[in-house]
Structure 1
Amino acid sequence: MTPSTPSARRRGRRLVYRLAAILVAVGVWQLFAAGPGASSDFPSPAATARSAADLVTTGEYWSNIGHSVTTALIGLAVAIVGGLVIGLLIGVSPAARRSTQLLLDFGRTVPAIALLPLFLLLFGATRQLGVVLILVSAVWPVVIQTSYAVGQISPQLKVVARAYHLTRWHRLRYVVAPSMLPFVFAGLRIAATLSLLMAISSEFLGGSDGIGYVLLQAMQINDSDRAFVYSITAALLGVLLNLVFVHLQRRVLWWHSSVRTGGAA
Protein backbone atom coordinates (compact mmCIF):
# COMPACT_ATOMS: atom_id res chain seq x y z
CA MET A 1 0.00 0.00 0.00
CA THR A 2 1.50 3.33 -1.04
CA PRO A 3 1.43 6.42 1.22
CA SER A 4 -0.78 8.23 -1.29
CA THR A 5 -3.56 5.66 -1.08
CA PRO A 6 -5.48 7.34 1.82
CA SER A 7 -5.47 10.72 0.06
CA ALA A 8 -6.53 9.06 -3.20
CA ARG A 9 -9.42 7.42 -1.37
CA ARG A 10 -10.46 10.75 0.13
CA ARG A 11 -10.43 12.35 -3.32
CA GLY A 12 -12.48 9.45 -4.66
CA ARG A 13 -15.06 9.83 -1.90
CA ARG A 14 -15.30 13.58 -2.49
CA LEU A 15 -15.88 12.94 -6.19
CA VAL A 16 -18.60 10.40 -5.43
CA TYR A 17 -20.31 12.79 -3.00
CA ARG A 18 -20.22 15.61 -5.54
CA LEU A 19 -21.64 13.45 -8.30
CA ALA A 20 -24.36 12.24 -5.92
CA ALA A 21 -25.23 15.85 -5.06
CA ILE A 22 -25.50 16.70 -8.77
CA LEU A 23 -27.78 13.72 -9.38
CA VAL A 24 -29.99 14.72 -6.45
CA ALA A 25 -30.22 18.29 -7.76
CA VAL A 26 -31.16 17.07 -11.25
CA GLY A 27 -33.76 14.75 -9.71
CA VAL A 28 -35.32 17.59 -7.71
CA TRP A 29 -35.27 19.73 -10.87
CA GLN A 30 -37.11 17.02 -12.82
CA LEU A 31 -39.71 16.54 -10.07
CA PHE A 32 -40.39 20.27 -9.89
CA ALA A 33 -40.63 20.60 -13.69
CA ALA A 34 -43.08 17.71 -13.87
CA GLY A 35 -45.08 18.91 -10.87
CA PRO A 36 -45.52 22.50 -9.64
CA GLY A 37 -43.55 23.99 -12.52
CA ALA A 38 -45.57 22.32 -15.29
CA SER A 39 -48.23 25.03 -15.26
CA SER A 40 -45.62 27.74 -15.94
CA ASP A 41 -43.71 25.79 -18.62
CA PHE A 42 -40.74 25.30 -16.34
CA PRO A 43 -38.15 23.45 -18.49
CA SER A 44 -37.14 19.92 -17.59
CA PRO A 45 -33.52 18.72 -17.60
CA ALA A 46 -34.12 16.84 -20.84
CA ALA A 47 -35.63 19.87 -22.60
CA THR A 48 -32.76 22.06 -21.39
CA ALA A 49 -30.23 19.49 -22.61
CA ARG A 50 -31.84 19.44 -26.07
CA SER A 51 -31.79 23.22 -26.23
CA ALA A 52 -28.15 23.25 -25.12
CA ALA A 53 -27.24 20.73 -27.82
CA ASP A 54 -28.73 23.05 -30.43
CA LEU A 55 -27.09 26.20 -29.05
CA VAL A 56 -23.54 24.89 -28.63
CA THR A 57 -23.31 24.29 -32.37
CA THR A 58 -23.97 27.96 -33.15
CA GLY A 59 -21.41 30.72 -33.38
CA GLU A 60 -23.68 33.10 -31.50
CA TYR A 61 -23.46 30.98 -28.35
CA TRP A 62 -19.66 30.97 -28.26
CA SER A 63 -19.46 34.61 -29.30
CA ASN A 64 -21.60 35.64 -26.33
CA ILE A 65 -19.51 33.52 -23.99
CA GLY A 66 -16.33 35.04 -25.37
CA HIS A 67 -17.66 38.55 -24.96
CA SER A 68 -18.69 38.01 -21.33
CA VAL A 69 -15.47 36.22 -20.39
CA THR A 70 -13.33 38.88 -22.05
CA THR A 71 -15.14 41.65 -20.18
CA ALA A 72 -14.77 39.74 -16.91
CA LEU A 73 -11.05 39.11 -17.41
CA ILE A 74 -10.29 42.72 -18.40
CA GLY A 75 -12.16 44.05 -15.37
CA LEU A 76 -10.55 41.45 -13.11
CA ALA A 77 -7.06 42.34 -14.34
CA VAL A 78 -7.66 46.04 -13.66
CA ALA A 79 -9.11 45.25 -10.21
CA ILE A 80 -6.16 43.00 -9.31
CA VAL A 81 -3.49 45.51 -10.37
CA GLY A 82 -5.26 48.42 -8.70
CA GLY A 83 -6.12 46.42 -5.59
CA LEU A 84 -2.57 45.14 -5.09
CA VAL A 85 -1.02 48.58 -5.47
CA ILE A 86 -3.54 50.28 -3.16
CA GLY A 87 -3.39 47.42 -0.66
CA LEU A 88 0.42 47.55 -0.51
CA LEU A 89 0.41 51.31 -0.01
CA ILE A 90 -2.14 51.04 2.80
CA GLY A 91 -0.63 47.96 4.42
CA VAL A 92 2.92 49.25 4.86
CA SER A 93 1.77 52.11 7.09
CA PRO A 94 -0.21 51.65 10.33
CA ALA A 95 -1.36 55.26 10.05
CA ALA A 96 -2.67 54.63 6.52
CA ARG A 97 -4.54 51.52 7.69
CA ARG A 98 -6.21 53.42 10.50
CA SER A 99 -7.11 56.43 8.35
CA THR A 100 -8.58 54.37 5.50
CA GLN A 101 -10.48 51.82 7.59
CA LEU A 102 -13.76 53.76 7.45
CA LEU A 103 -13.41 54.37 3.71
CA LEU A 104 -12.76 50.67 3.00
CA ASP A 105 -15.69 49.58 5.17
CA PHE A 106 -17.97 52.03 3.38
CA GLY A 107 -16.75 51.24 -0.13
CA ARG A 108 -17.10 47.48 0.11
CA THR A 109 -20.69 47.73 1.38
CA VAL A 110 -21.91 49.88 -1.53
CA PRO A 111 -23.40 47.56 -4.20
CA ALA A 112 -21.99 48.33 -7.61
CA ILE A 113 -25.41 47.74 -9.19
CA ALA A 114 -26.69 50.77 -7.29
CA LEU A 115 -24.27 52.88 -9.35
CA LEU A 116 -25.41 51.37 -12.65
CA PRO A 117 -27.67 54.30 -13.69
CA LEU A 118 -24.79 56.75 -13.24
CA PHE A 119 -22.29 54.57 -15.10
CA LEU A 120 -24.83 53.89 -17.84
CA LEU A 121 -25.11 57.63 -18.44
CA LEU A 122 -21.32 58.00 -18.51
CA PHE A 123 -20.33 54.95 -20.58
CA GLY A 124 -23.53 53.75 -22.29
CA ALA A 125 -24.20 50.10 -23.13
CA THR A 126 -20.56 49.28 -23.82
CA ARG A 127 -17.84 46.98 -22.53
CA GLN A 128 -16.43 49.90 -20.58
CA LEU A 129 -19.60 49.85 -18.47
CA GLY A 130 -18.93 46.25 -17.45
CA VAL A 131 -15.25 46.90 -16.75
CA VAL A 132 -16.05 49.84 -14.48
CA LEU A 133 -18.72 47.88 -12.60
CA ILE A 134 -16.28 45.01 -12.13
CA LEU A 135 -13.60 47.38 -10.88
CA VAL A 136 -15.96 49.01 -8.38
CA SER A 137 -17.09 45.65 -6.97
CA ALA A 138 -14.02 43.38 -7.32
CA VAL A 139 -11.27 45.73 -6.18
CA TRP A 140 -12.35 45.70 -2.53
CA PRO A 141 -11.52 42.05 -1.67
CA VAL A 142 -8.06 42.49 -3.19
CA VAL A 143 -7.39 45.78 -1.38
CA ILE A 144 -8.61 44.50 1.99
CA GLN A 145 -6.80 41.16 1.85
CA THR A 146 -3.57 42.75 0.62
CA SER A 147 -3.52 45.54 3.19
CA TYR A 148 -4.33 43.08 5.98
CA ALA A 149 -1.64 40.64 4.86
CA VAL A 150 1.06 43.31 4.58
CA GLY A 151 0.10 44.72 7.97
CA GLN A 152 0.42 41.27 9.59
CA ILE A 153 3.99 40.61 8.45
CA SER A 154 6.11 39.54 11.41
CA PRO A 155 8.24 42.37 12.87
CA GLN A 156 11.10 39.89 13.19
CA LEU A 157 11.10 39.41 9.41
CA LYS A 158 11.34 43.16 8.94
CA VAL A 159 14.27 43.34 11.35
CA VAL A 160 16.06 40.54 9.49
CA ALA A 161 15.46 42.32 6.16
CA ARG A 162 16.99 45.52 7.52
CA ALA A 163 19.89 43.64 9.07
CA TYR A 164 20.76 42.11 5.70
CA HIS A 165 20.31 45.49 3.97
CA LEU A 166 17.82 44.09 1.48
CA THR A 167 16.71 46.40 -1.29
CA ARG A 168 13.03 47.32 -1.61
CA TRP A 169 12.65 44.86 -4.48
CA HIS A 170 14.21 42.01 -2.46
CA ARG A 171 12.05 42.87 0.55
CA LEU A 172 8.97 42.74 -1.66
CA ARG A 173 10.03 39.47 -3.28
CA TYR A 174 11.42 37.53 -0.31
CA VAL A 175 9.58 39.00 2.68
CA VAL A 176 6.34 40.70 1.66
CA ALA A 177 5.17 38.45 -1.18
CA PRO A 178 5.49 35.06 0.61
CA SER A 179 3.71 36.48 3.66
CA MET A 180 0.83 38.09 1.81
CA LEU A 181 0.13 35.67 -1.06
CA PRO A 182 -1.96 33.16 0.99
CA PHE A 183 -4.26 36.01 2.03
CA VAL A 184 -4.25 37.66 -1.39
CA PHE A 185 -5.37 34.50 -3.18
CA ALA A 186 -8.50 34.38 -1.01
CA GLY A 187 -9.31 37.89 -2.21
CA LEU A 188 -8.51 36.98 -5.82
CA ARG A 189 -10.97 34.07 -5.81
CA ILE A 190 -13.72 36.35 -4.48
CA ALA A 191 -12.82 39.03 -7.01
CA ALA A 192 -12.87 36.50 -9.87
CA THR A 193 -16.40 35.41 -8.99
CA LEU A 194 -17.55 39.02 -8.68
CA SER A 195 -15.99 39.92 -12.02
CA LEU A 196 -18.02 37.33 -13.92
CA LEU A 197 -21.17 38.19 -11.98
CA MET A 198 -20.84 41.91 -12.70
CA ALA A 199 -19.94 41.33 -16.37
CA ILE A 200 -23.13 39.37 -16.94
CA SER A 201 -25.18 41.75 -14.79
CA SER A 202 -23.97 44.77 -16.78
CA GLU A 203 -25.00 43.02 -20.01
CA PHE A 204 -28.38 42.06 -18.57
CA LEU A 205 -29.19 45.50 -17.18
CA GLY A 206 -27.24 47.68 -19.59
CA GLY A 207 -28.10 45.91 -22.84
CA SER A 208 -24.58 45.28 -24.15
CA ASP A 209 -23.60 42.08 -25.98
CA GLY A 210 -22.90 38.92 -24.02
CA ILE A 211 -24.56 36.20 -21.96
CA GLY A 212 -26.56 38.70 -19.93
CA TYR A 213 -28.13 40.31 -22.98
CA VAL A 214 -29.19 37.06 -24.66
CA LEU A 215 -30.52 35.86 -21.33
CA LEU A 216 -32.66 39.00 -21.15
CA GLN A 217 -33.88 38.42 -24.72
CA ALA A 218 -34.82 34.83 -23.92
CA MET A 219 -36.81 35.95 -20.88
CA GLN A 220 -38.62 38.65 -22.84
CA ILE A 221 -39.91 36.15 -25.42
CA ASN A 222 -40.59 33.52 -22.73
CA ASP A 223 -38.01 31.09 -24.16
CA SER A 224 -37.37 29.35 -20.85
CA ASP A 225 -35.28 26.53 -22.33
CA ARG A 226 -32.82 29.00 -23.86
CA ALA A 227 -32.80 31.11 -20.71
CA PHE A 228 -31.93 28.06 -18.61
CA VAL A 229 -29.10 27.11 -20.96
CA TYR A 230 -27.48 30.51 -20.63
CA SER A 231 -28.06 30.57 -16.86
CA ILE A 232 -26.37 27.19 -16.48
CA THR A 233 -23.60 28.34 -18.80
CA ALA A 234 -22.95 31.33 -16.55
CA ALA A 235 -22.85 29.06 -13.51
CA LEU A 236 -20.41 26.66 -15.19
CA LEU A 237 -18.18 29.57 -16.19
CA GLY A 238 -18.10 30.67 -12.56
CA VAL A 239 -17.10 27.18 -11.44
CA LEU A 240 -14.43 26.98 -14.14
CA LEU A 241 -13.00 30.38 -13.22
CA ASN A 242 -12.81 29.36 -9.57
CA LEU A 243 -11.06 26.10 -10.49
CA VAL A 244 -8.50 28.03 -12.51
CA PHE A 245 -7.63 30.15 -9.48
CA VAL A 246 -7.55 27.08 -7.22
CA HIS A 247 -5.08 25.44 -9.60
CA LEU A 248 -3.03 28.64 -9.78
CA GLN A 249 -3.02 28.88 -5.99
CA ARG A 250 -1.75 25.33 -5.69
CA ARG A 251 1.01 25.97 -8.19
CA VAL A 252 2.15 29.25 -6.62
CA LEU A 253 1.66 28.29 -2.96
CA TRP A 254 2.85 24.68 -3.19
CA TRP A 255 5.04 25.34 -0.13
CA HIS A 256 2.23 26.68 2.09
CA SER A 257 0.48 24.49 4.68
CA SER A 258 -3.00 25.42 3.40
CA VAL A 259 -2.17 23.86 0.04
CA ARG A 260 -0.25 20.85 1.28
CA THR A 261 -3.13 19.88 3.58
CA GLY A 262 -5.75 20.41 0.86
CA GLY A 263 -7.07 23.68 2.26
CA ALA A 264 -7.16 25.34 -1.13
CA ALA A 265 -9.73 22.97 -2.59
Structure 2
Amino acid sequence: MTRTKPSQAPSPVRRLAYRVLAILVALVVWHLFATGPGGSSDFPTPLDIFEAGADAVPTQDFWANIATSLRTAVTGLALVVLVGLPVGLLIGSNEITRRSTQLVLDFGRTVPAIALLPLFLLVFGAGRTLGVVLILVSAVWPIIIQTSYAVGQISPQLKRVGRAYHLSRWYRLRFIVAPSMLPFVFAGLRIAATIALLMAISSEFLGGSDGLGYTLLQAMQLNDTDRAFLYAFTAATLGLLLNLFFVLLQRRVLWWHSSVRAGGTS
Protein backbone atom coordinates (compact mmCIF):
# COMPACT_ATOMS: atom_id res chain seq x y z
CA MET A 1 0.00 0.00 0.00
CA THR A 2 1.55 3.26 -1.13
CA ARG A 3 1.41 6.27 1.15
CA THR A 4 0.65 9.59 -0.48
CA LYS A 5 2.74 12.52 0.58
CA PRO A 6 0.91 15.59 1.80
CA SER A 7 0.97 18.43 -0.69
CA GLN A 8 3.43 21.14 0.21
CA ALA A 9 2.83 24.82 -0.36
CA PRO A 10 5.26 26.39 -2.85
CA SER A 11 8.15 28.37 -1.44
CA PRO A 12 7.96 32.20 -1.37
CA VAL A 13 10.48 32.39 -4.21
CA ARG A 14 8.44 30.03 -6.35
CA ARG A 15 5.20 31.92 -5.58
CA LEU A 16 6.90 35.16 -6.62
CA ALA A 17 8.16 33.52 -9.81
CA TYR A 18 4.64 32.31 -10.65
CA ARG A 19 3.22 35.81 -10.15
CA VAL A 20 5.93 37.45 -12.25
CA LEU A 21 5.32 34.87 -14.99
CA ALA A 22 1.58 35.56 -14.92
CA ILE A 23 2.23 39.31 -15.23
CA LEU A 24 4.60 38.75 -18.18
CA VAL A 25 2.05 36.54 -19.94
CA ALA A 26 -0.66 39.19 -19.40
CA LEU A 27 1.64 41.90 -20.82
CA VAL A 28 2.43 39.80 -23.89
CA VAL A 29 -1.27 39.11 -24.53
CA TRP A 30 -2.01 42.81 -24.03
CA HIS A 31 0.72 43.81 -26.50
CA LEU A 32 -0.48 41.32 -29.11
CA PHE A 33 -4.05 42.59 -28.81
CA ALA A 34 -3.00 46.26 -28.97
CA THR A 35 -0.87 45.73 -32.08
CA GLY A 36 -3.49 43.48 -33.67
CA PRO A 37 -7.29 43.79 -33.25
CA GLY A 38 -7.01 46.81 -30.96
CA GLY A 39 -4.82 48.82 -33.31
CA SER A 40 -7.79 50.23 -35.20
CA SER A 41 -9.17 51.83 -32.00
CA ASP A 42 -5.86 53.29 -30.77
CA PHE A 43 -5.67 50.75 -27.96
CA PRO A 44 -2.36 51.54 -26.21
CA THR A 45 0.41 49.01 -25.78
CA PRO A 46 2.17 48.48 -22.42
CA LEU A 47 5.10 50.50 -23.78
CA ASP A 48 2.75 53.42 -24.53
CA ILE A 49 1.48 53.35 -20.93
CA PHE A 50 5.05 53.22 -19.64
CA GLU A 51 6.02 56.25 -21.73
CA ALA A 52 2.95 58.16 -20.54
CA GLY A 53 3.88 57.28 -16.96
CA ALA A 54 7.45 58.46 -17.48
CA ASP A 55 6.07 61.87 -18.47
CA ALA A 56 3.36 62.13 -15.78
CA VAL A 57 4.90 60.54 -12.67
CA PRO A 58 7.62 63.18 -12.13
CA THR A 59 5.06 66.01 -12.18
CA GLN A 60 3.55 67.52 -9.05
CA ASP A 61 0.00 67.39 -10.44
CA PHE A 62 0.12 63.60 -10.71
CA TRP A 63 0.91 63.12 -7.02
CA ALA A 64 -1.42 65.93 -5.96
CA ASN A 65 -4.33 64.18 -7.66
CA ILE A 66 -3.41 60.88 -5.99
CA ALA A 67 -3.25 62.61 -2.60
CA THR A 68 -6.66 64.23 -3.19
CA SER A 69 -8.33 60.93 -4.02
CA LEU A 70 -6.68 59.18 -1.08
CA ARG A 71 -7.72 61.94 1.33
CA THR A 72 -11.33 61.62 0.23
CA ALA A 73 -11.23 57.81 0.48
CA VAL A 74 -9.57 57.76 3.90
CA THR A 75 -11.87 60.46 5.29
CA GLY A 76 -14.93 58.60 4.07
CA LEU A 77 -13.61 55.27 5.37
CA ALA A 78 -12.94 56.73 8.82
CA LEU A 79 -16.51 58.03 8.92
CA VAL A 80 -17.77 54.63 7.80
CA VAL A 81 -15.96 52.93 10.70
CA LEU A 82 -17.20 55.51 13.22
CA VAL A 83 -20.79 54.93 12.09
CA GLY A 84 -20.71 51.25 11.13
CA LEU A 85 -19.07 49.74 14.20
CA PRO A 86 -21.47 51.18 16.83
CA VAL A 87 -24.51 50.45 14.67
CA GLY A 88 -23.31 46.90 14.04
CA LEU A 89 -22.68 46.35 17.74
CA LEU A 90 -26.11 47.69 18.61
CA ILE A 91 -27.86 45.51 16.03
CA GLY A 92 -25.87 42.35 16.76
CA SER A 93 -26.21 42.50 20.54
CA ASN A 94 -29.94 41.81 20.46
CA GLU A 95 -31.67 39.01 18.55
CA ILE A 96 -34.92 40.96 18.11
CA THR A 97 -33.08 44.00 16.76
CA ARG A 98 -31.05 41.82 14.40
CA ARG A 99 -34.13 40.13 12.97
CA SER A 100 -36.16 43.34 12.68
CA THR A 101 -33.39 45.23 10.82
CA GLN A 102 -32.52 42.42 8.39
CA LEU A 103 -34.80 43.77 5.65
CA VAL A 104 -33.43 47.31 6.05
CA LEU A 105 -29.83 46.08 5.79
CA ASP A 106 -30.59 43.94 2.74
CA PHE A 107 -32.30 46.88 1.05
CA GLY A 108 -29.59 49.40 1.93
CA ARG A 109 -26.67 47.36 0.68
CA THR A 110 -28.34 46.71 -2.70
CA VAL A 111 -29.02 50.37 -3.50
CA PRO A 112 -26.30 51.63 -5.89
CA ALA A 113 -24.89 54.86 -4.50
CA ILE A 114 -24.09 56.11 -8.01
CA ALA A 115 -27.83 56.20 -8.72
CA LEU A 116 -28.14 58.82 -5.96
CA LEU A 117 -25.35 60.97 -7.41
CA PRO A 118 -27.64 63.55 -9.11
CA LEU A 119 -29.47 64.14 -5.82
CA PHE A 120 -26.22 64.41 -3.87
CA LEU A 121 -24.81 66.82 -6.47
CA LEU A 122 -27.78 69.13 -5.93
CA VAL A 123 -27.47 68.96 -2.14
CA PHE A 124 -23.70 68.92 -1.58
CA GLY A 125 -22.26 70.19 -4.86
CA ALA A 126 -19.08 68.94 -6.52
CA GLY A 127 -16.25 68.51 -4.04
CA ARG A 128 -14.82 66.31 -1.32
CA THR A 129 -18.08 66.35 0.64
CA LEU A 130 -19.82 64.65 -2.27
CA GLY A 131 -17.23 61.86 -2.29
CA VAL A 132 -17.39 61.38 1.48
CA VAL A 133 -21.19 61.12 1.41
CA LEU A 134 -21.08 58.60 -1.45
CA ILE A 135 -18.53 56.54 0.49
CA LEU A 136 -20.66 56.60 3.63
CA VAL A 137 -23.82 55.55 1.79
CA SER A 138 -22.14 52.71 -0.11
CA ALA A 139 -19.35 51.41 2.16
CA VAL A 140 -21.00 51.44 5.59
CA TRP A 141 -23.04 48.30 4.91
CA PRO A 142 -20.17 45.75 4.94
CA ILE A 143 -19.03 47.10 8.31
CA ILE A 144 -22.52 47.02 9.82
CA ILE A 145 -23.34 43.56 8.47
CA GLN A 146 -20.03 41.96 9.41
CA THR A 147 -20.03 43.51 12.88
CA SER A 148 -23.61 42.56 13.67
CA TYR A 149 -23.04 39.02 12.40
CA ALA A 150 -19.85 38.67 14.45
CA VAL A 151 -21.51 39.85 17.66
CA GLY A 152 -24.45 37.52 17.07
CA GLN A 153 -22.09 34.54 16.64
CA ILE A 154 -20.31 34.97 19.98
CA SER A 155 -20.50 31.75 21.99
CA PRO A 156 -23.24 31.82 24.66
CA GLN A 157 -20.80 30.05 27.01
CA LEU A 158 -18.40 33.01 26.79
CA LYS A 159 -21.24 35.38 27.59
CA ARG A 160 -22.24 33.31 30.61
CA VAL A 161 -18.64 33.24 31.83
CA GLY A 162 -18.49 37.04 31.63
CA ARG A 163 -21.70 37.37 33.64
CA ALA A 164 -20.61 34.72 36.15
CA TYR A 165 -17.39 36.60 36.91
CA HIS A 166 -19.26 39.91 37.02
CA LEU A 167 -17.05 41.46 34.36
CA SER A 168 -17.79 45.07 33.55
CA ARG A 169 -19.18 45.99 30.16
CA TRP A 170 -15.81 47.37 29.10
CA TYR A 171 -13.99 44.12 30.01
CA ARG A 172 -16.57 42.02 28.22
CA LEU A 173 -16.23 44.22 25.14
CA ARG A 174 -12.44 44.07 25.24
CA PHE A 175 -11.80 40.42 26.12
CA ILE A 176 -14.89 38.62 24.80
CA VAL A 177 -16.60 40.66 22.10
CA ALA A 178 -13.58 42.24 20.38
CA PRO A 179 -11.50 39.04 19.85
CA SER A 180 -14.56 37.27 18.43
CA MET A 181 -15.63 40.05 16.08
CA LEU A 182 -12.29 41.43 14.82
CA PRO A 183 -11.76 38.81 12.06
CA PHE A 184 -15.22 39.62 10.65
CA VAL A 185 -14.67 43.36 11.04
CA PHE A 186 -11.40 43.20 9.11
CA ALA A 187 -13.13 41.34 6.29
CA GLY A 188 -15.77 44.08 6.12
CA LEU A 189 -13.08 46.75 6.41
CA ARG A 190 -11.19 45.46 3.37
CA ILE A 191 -14.40 45.47 1.33
CA ALA A 192 -15.30 48.94 2.58
CA ALA A 193 -11.81 50.28 1.75
CA THR A 194 -12.12 49.12 -1.85
CA ILE A 195 -15.58 50.67 -2.15
CA ALA A 196 -14.31 53.90 -0.56
CA LEU A 197 -11.57 54.34 -3.15
CA LEU A 198 -13.96 53.46 -5.97
CA MET A 199 -16.55 55.98 -4.78
CA ALA A 200 -13.92 58.70 -4.26
CA ILE A 201 -12.68 58.36 -7.85
CA SER A 202 -16.23 57.99 -9.22
CA SER A 203 -17.35 61.19 -7.49
CA GLU A 204 -14.40 63.05 -9.03
CA PHE A 205 -15.12 61.57 -12.45
CA LEU A 206 -18.86 62.30 -12.43
CA GLY A 207 -18.85 65.40 -10.24
CA GLY A 208 -15.93 67.18 -11.87
CA SER A 209 -13.85 67.77 -8.71
CA ASP A 210 -10.08 67.48 -8.45
CA GLY A 211 -8.48 64.05 -8.17
CA LEU A 212 -7.65 60.98 -10.20
CA GLY A 213 -11.23 60.69 -11.45
CA TYR A 214 -11.18 64.20 -12.91
CA THR A 215 -7.81 63.71 -14.62
CA LEU A 216 -9.15 60.48 -16.10
CA LEU A 217 -12.18 62.37 -17.40
CA GLN A 218 -9.96 65.05 -18.95
CA ALA A 219 -7.81 62.44 -20.68
CA MET A 220 -10.90 60.78 -22.14
CA GLN A 221 -12.30 64.11 -23.35
CA LEU A 222 -9.00 64.83 -25.11
CA ASN A 223 -8.98 61.29 -26.56
CA ASP A 224 -5.62 60.72 -24.86
CA THR A 225 -5.97 56.96 -24.40
CA ASP A 226 -2.42 56.55 -23.11
CA ARG A 227 -2.99 58.87 -20.15
CA ALA A 228 -6.50 57.52 -19.60
CA PHE A 229 -5.10 54.00 -19.21
CA LEU A 230 -2.29 55.34 -17.01
CA TYR A 231 -4.74 56.95 -14.58
CA ALA A 232 -6.96 53.87 -14.61
CA PHE A 233 -4.01 51.63 -13.73
CA THR A 234 -2.89 54.12 -11.10
CA ALA A 235 -6.30 53.84 -9.45
CA ALA A 236 -6.10 50.03 -9.62
CA THR A 237 -2.63 50.11 -8.05
CA LEU A 238 -3.92 52.30 -5.22
CA GLY A 239 -6.67 49.77 -4.61
CA LEU A 240 -4.13 46.94 -4.41
CA LEU A 241 -1.90 48.90 -2.03
CA LEU A 242 -4.86 49.83 0.16
CA ASN A 243 -5.93 46.20 0.36
CA LEU A 244 -2.34 45.15 1.12
CA PHE A 245 -2.19 47.69 3.94
CA PHE A 246 -5.24 46.18 5.64
CA VAL A 247 -3.95 42.64 5.07
CA LEU A 248 -0.70 43.54 6.84
CA LEU A 249 -2.62 45.35 9.57
CA GLN A 250 -4.85 42.32 10.06
CA ARG A 251 -1.81 40.05 10.38
CA ARG A 252 -0.33 42.45 12.91
CA VAL A 253 -3.47 42.74 15.04
CA LEU A 254 -4.78 39.16 14.64
CA TRP A 255 -1.44 37.33 14.78
CA TRP A 256 -3.02 34.88 17.24
CA HIS A 257 -5.99 33.95 15.03
CA SER A 258 -6.02 30.64 13.13
CA SER A 259 -6.90 32.28 9.80
CA VAL A 260 -3.83 34.51 9.98
CA ARG A 261 -1.49 31.72 11.09
CA ALA A 262 -2.69 29.58 8.18
CA GLY A 263 -2.16 32.42 5.73
CA GLY A 264 -5.86 32.90 5.09
CA THR A 265 -5.62 36.66 4.63
CA SER A 266 -3.09 36.59 1.81
TM-score of the pair, normalised by structure 2:
0.96
Aligned to 2:172: 171
- Output the amino acid matched with 1:58: T
Aligned residues: 260
Q: Does 1:110 align with 2:116?
A: no
Percentage of pairs with the same residue: 72
Q: Equivalents in 2 of 1:57, 1:115: separation in Å?
A: 37
| Residue of structure 2 in register with 1:231 after alignment | 232
Q: Which amino acid aligns with 1:98?
A: R
Matches within 5 A, 1:115-134: 115-134=116-135
User: C-alpha separation between the residues in 2 aligned to 1:62 and 1:183?
Assistant: 34
Following TM superposition, by how much is the alpha carbon of 1:17 offset from its aligned partner in structure 2, in angstroms? 1.6
Instruction: Provide the C-alpha distance between the structure 2 equivalents of 1:65 and 1:54, rounded to a whole number of angstroms.
Output: 16
- State the shift of 1:8 in Å: 8.6
The separation in 2 between residues aligned to 1:191 and 1:131, in whole angstroms, is 13
How far off its partner does 1:18 sit? 1.3
Distance across 2 between alignment mates of 1:243 and 1:148: 24
Aligned to 1:143: 144
Q: How far has the Cα of 1:13 moved from its partner?
A: 2.4
3-state SS in 2 of match to 1:83? helix
Change (3 A) 1:171 1:64: same
Q: CA–CA distance in 1 between the matches of 2:203 and 2:130?
A: 7
- Aligned residue for 1:42, secondary structure, equals coil
Say whether residues 1:46 and 2:47 are aligned partners: yes
| CA distance, structure 1, for counterparts of residue 45 and residue 10 of structure 2 | 34
Instruction: Report deviation, 1:7.
Output: 8.2
Gaps of 5+ in 1: 1-5
Superposed CA deviations along residues 128-147 of structure 1, whole A, max 9, x for unmatched, are 00000001111000000000
- What is aligned with 1:251? 252
Runs of at least 5 residues in structure 2 that lack an aligned partner in the other structure = 1-6
Q: Distance in 1 between matches of 2:224 and 2:15?
A: 36
Could you tell me which amino acid in structure 2 is paired with residue 86 of structure 1? V
Paired residue for 2:81? 80
Q: CA deviation at 1:12?
A: 2.3
Structure 1 residues 123, 7: CA separation in 2 closer, same or farther (over 3 Å shift)? farther
